[in-house]
Structure 1
């Protein structure tokens, strides 16, 4: 009996360890040619719900990354683990004729998926995604100058809950238009694993995907929010994606960064046209 109990305890801890190391949660709905929806940093895959519901004739596959949306955190570097396991997921599930839709950081992952599987992915949709965020936010700063152990990171890690809520509120207000959507974004940020929120963002600041995108041959739609920067945002996108060959830019009016929240109908119409091709 003692041996049985010991085995059960070991099995429990092994299952717990495996779950803790899972880099993302996967949700699947519908049947048909697959559409992979990749959310941006800090949000749950639920952010795509309004869009996913409009594609019952496709298999919609939605990810929520480790450290967010109730998924247990993993170690660091964070982004590279997400990327590697996402490539494994597509390979192990033998996904073919795939459309990949990525918002913000999800667009970075989507670009790397296309480069890993040029013959399996038919369409790529990048929703307000920059291949090198650092160049916009910290122009001229090299990746090697950015580290986890920085003053800003330490400030965020040590911030008390009340101050972090104020911080999250300010971010959410700039990301979506409706108050209800802002509250949802704030809830996701407040429920996130704090180290993942801080160090994972550092991983993104170090990322630069501008080199190598000339190898992508499939059609790429790049969707750009018009708020708050307008034409300046479009010009920035055009500059960063200059090496991409088969691309089209579309600016979304009256939308902030979370286009799937601010203009879901517009985005659904665009996606419906793409998957019909």
Structure 2
């Protein structure tokens, strides 16, 4: 369990930005993006206002923007306090505008977005919720997937259906392989156990599981990950795997049906 009073993981200098992966609540992540050139700062999701404020204050950063992926409370609970304190803009899915408090801009895939002059694409990725969006920064090779795609896993399907979720995940899978993925939760160790059950022959997965176990034993995060790594190890991105299909008895099924069966099994794990 995360301690919201601890210092967040180390600030990383990634291209134009300083990035802070910020543990919140039991297992959530928020991500702070800071552009030194403009002094602009953004947060992806707002699980816990006090944790985010403490990290900002420690760096003398002011929160200009909040980018919200979906309406669930563990991603939105801090919006009111953060917006009230900093006057931050709040961007989130237009389809969930009535369920996200304090929203100042609703977005769809047609919306033109940027942060500190860097373009952002809002990908509509419904399934976990019907309005979920993923934020992709093409010039910076960053994607913030919320609860759609996790390291070695994917989100539960609460409001959509498996085919919808597979379509959403496929959008993320189509991004460049070196894209760095920041997701909304630290679920990788639990996801690793399920992945090994469905594809134990996968050598890349074995190596990733060993890495994940070592990171968590040292109290370190398992994200960001990369799309190439997830395609090699994450069963929810691998419905074309012959071994997975054989284990599920779905040799000739379309990819989305294999994905649906994997999600059904993970729900029971």
Q: TM-score, normalised by structure 1?
A: 0.26
Q: As a proportion of its length, which structure holds more strand? A: 2
- Structure number with the bigger relative contact order (C-alpha 8 A, sep ≥ 6) is 1
Q: TM-score, normalised by structure 2?
A: 0.27
